[in-house]
Structure 1
Amino acid sequence: MKKEKDRLHQYFSGNYSRKDLHFTQQLFTDSTQKENLQQNLEGHWDRFKLSPEQEKTDFEPLLNKLHHQIHSKENTPHKKISFVYQLQRIAAILFIPLVLGFATYFWYNHAGKEQLAYAEIQCPDGTRTQFHLPDGSSGFLNNGSSIRYAVPFNKNREVLLSGEAFFDVTKNGHPFHVKTNNLDVQVMGTSFNVMAYEDDAIEEVILQTGKVKVCVLNGKKLATLHPNQQLSLNLDNNQYQINRVEASNFTAWREGKLIFRNEGLEAVAKRIERWYNVDIEITDKSLKDYTFHATFMDHNLEEVLTLLTLTSPIKFKIEEQNNNSPGVYIKKKKVTLEPDITKTNKTN
């Protein structure tokens, strides 16, 4: 007979049976199973090699939060039970430590006859991480991004993306779809980058190898891309354009490289915000006219800002900011960019 900890491991690896699914569902929804749940999660955690910091993780607050989220939804007509599974050992890449959130959702109809399970991989702001999908495909998530997919996955290879990700897709005879809020990228086996942050007015697809078909969500085809081509969709006017690019410049973030190629300050500031998890304010609109061509690797925030100011009449200020609202604690730096009058006078 399969051990309980093995059922849990099978479930989180995406290779589980109906009995494994039922066991996991009961384990997380039955309040009387709290002690059993903790023991099983600890056993699952022990399968992975953890850093000294991760070894100190306290299970109790996490379990209390899970049960609170589950019980708060018991009386809704359609039950939606959610929990964040943060007990996986995650590869911290590009020299940045990372804790990856792994969330699974269950949807039930009134009779409870149909069950759909979804897995979600999240990458916090200021980090990048590698992921592996059940079909053998792999990729990288950029900061502040997430992907979501149905389990089982091998025959229904559809990934929902928020943010930016690089995919290296394995061929298995079934199409592979990456969907954003506006685009559907269809492939069989190839490598490509998709950027679709919810606060951006542009969605981009950049092909590195192979071939992809890009459609809008209603199925209308926009283009078939070949290596080193970029499709940019402007969400303000629903117009798109295809450009010839050097794909490696757009995928170098996987290696910890922050690359700017003749980009305006506003675009540069937005990428620095995500890269270092900071807020940036540009106090003078005229500064947005400056463009930058640079490559950074393993530079801290202050070093990047200092190097940018060497080529433009800009100065910066870094401040700590805290938000201690009830139940919320945010510690995030704020960067202010403003004209450097001393440099402007020298230029004039």
Structure 2
Amino acid sequence: MEPDNKDIKEYLLLAKAINDDIVDYENYNIGRAFLRNQRRIASGSRKQRLVRSALRIAAVLLLPFILSTGILSYLYIGQMQNDKEVSFLEVVSAPGVITKMELPDKSKVWLNAGSSLRYPSRFTGNERNVYLSGEGYFEVQSDKQNPFYVSVNDNMKIMAHGTKFNVNAYGDEQWIETTLETGLVDVIMNKQSVLLEPSELAYYDRSNQKLSIRPVNVDEKTAWKDGRLIFRNTSLDEVVKQLSRRYNVDIVMHKRTNIDYKCRASFSTESITQILDYLKLVAPMKWKIAETKQLLDSTYPRQRIDIWLK
């Protein structure tokens, strides 16, 4: 039976609907449009006769459908390819600033002053990889099938599944420290690998490239993320270095002695001047804030503090 004018009219409307969908492909929802067109074909009591009649309709009506199918498939594949693209992001914590952030897997990270973290817009494959410069505290979401890796300088990696730990890997230090609060982590360095348990610290000495484990007071190593500084038998040089990062100042030590003074103290809301006054009780020293002069580009350099040890 030859298709009548009504059949042809309905298929012309169907072809036009498909063509309209193609023209509007920038906002095209493939699944919704497919179901809509399917309903058009299947609706009405004349479904079977329309299907049989379709075989007899001129090729000019069939061609737009074939082209539309090809275009829709292309758009769908293109969308899948875009979904596979992964970009890398980097968060930088400015001097004097502590930054808290959340990763695509809902893991949380705190970045200490002068630190940065590079990570993908979404984790793919069977590993979750991030790249740290400076110091970061990690609360990793548990996922035994997809371990979490923190890569730092010197080809070191810290592997975790679901745990809390701190990594101190500033480039100007002679060491890298990994402190475990809860869970388990593997510290991997070249051919060396050590397994940390809670309240342990992995210490990597850059001068001799040795990796060792020692017990540690976790709060002393992680208090910075809560805005606190804890020093326990800490050398004055190390105290000054941490103060410089925390308060975004340049501190210059003028030593007249080789005595290594130690400090035992905790600070939270104190100003830099209050802390320096306290340090005068620990070591025979005096300090002075240097005058800051405007540069040629109308900006000002970082504030500088000079310390003289007597």
TM-score (norm 2): 0.69
Residue of structure 2 in register with 1:120 after alignment: 90
Q: Deviations over 1:59-85 (max 9, x none)?
A: xxxxxxxxxxxxxxxxxxxxxxxxxxx
2:261 alignment counterpart: 290
Out of 230, 237, 251, the residue aligned to residue 259 of structure 1 is 230
Larger relative contact order, structure 1 or 2 (CA cutoff 8 Å, min sep 6): 2
User: Matched residues in 2 for 1:225 and 1:18: separation?
Assistant: 45
Q: Secondary structure at the match of 1:273?
A: helix
Relative to structure 2, which stretch is displaced further, 317-326 or 246-255?
A: 317-326
Alpha-carbon separation, structure 2, partners of 1:118 and 1:21: 17
Which residue, out of 151, 176, 179, partners 2:151? 179
Matching residue's letter, 1:176: F
**In 2, Cα distance between the equivalents of 1:122 and 1:222?**
29
- RMSD of the TM alignment (CA)? 2.6
Local SS of the residue matching 2:238: helix
Counterparts of 1:248 and 1:159 in 2: how far apart (Å)?
24
Tell me, yes or no, if the aligned pair for 1:265 and 1:288 is still in contact at 8 Å. no
Structure 1 or 2, whichever has the larger Rg, is 2
1:146 aligns with 2:116: yes
Which residue number in structure 2 is paired with residue 203 of structure 1? 176
Deviations 1:153-212 (A, max 9, x none): 254411100000000000123010001012100011100000001111111000000000
How far residue 265 of structure 1 moved from its aligned partner, in angstroms, is 1.1
In structure 1, the gaps of 5 or more residues are 3-16, 23-113, 341-348
Equivalence map 1:1-348=2 (5 Å): 1=27, 117-153=87-123, 155=125, 156-172=127-143, 173-182=145-154, 183-216=156-189, 218=190, 220-284=191-255, 286=257, 289-322=260-293, 324=295, 329-340=299-310
* Preserved CA contact (<8 Å) 1:192 1:207: yes
Equivalent residue letter for 2:152: T
Give the 4+ runs in structure 1 shifted more than 6 A: none
For residue 74 of structure 2, what is the aligned residue in structure 1?
none
CA distance in 1: counterparts of 2:95 and 2:259, whole angstroms:
24
Distance 1:200 1:130 in 2: 23
Aligned length: 233
- Separation in 1 of the partners of 2:131 and 2:259? 33
Secondary structure of 2:119's partner? strand
AA of the residue aligned to 1:128: I
- The question of whether the paired residues in 1 share the 8 Å contact of 2:261 and 2:282 is answered with no
Distance in structure 2 (CA, Å) of the matches to 1:18 and 1:116: 15
Q: Which residue of 1 aligns with 2:44?
A: none
Deviation (angstroms), 1:285:
5.0
Gaps of 5+ in 2: 1-26, 29-76
- The amino acid that maps onto 1:180 is V
Q: Aligned partners of 2:291 and 2:214: how far apart in 1?
A: 40
1:246 deviates by 1.2
Paired amino acid for 2:92: Q
1:261, 1:21 → 2: CA distance? 54
In the TM superposition, what is the alpha-carbon distance from 1:323 to its structure 2 partner? 6.4
Q: Distance in 1 between matches of 2:78 and 2:266?
A: 50
Q: In the alignment, is the contact (CA less than 8 A) between 1:135 and 1:154 conserved in 2?
A: no
Measured at CA, do residues 207 and 298 of structure 1 come closer, stay the same or move farther in structure 2, by a change above 3 Å? same
- 8 Å CA contact 2:283–2:309 kept in 1: the answer is no
- Structure richer in helix, relative to its length: 2
Kept in 2: contact 1:287–1:339 (CA 8 A): no
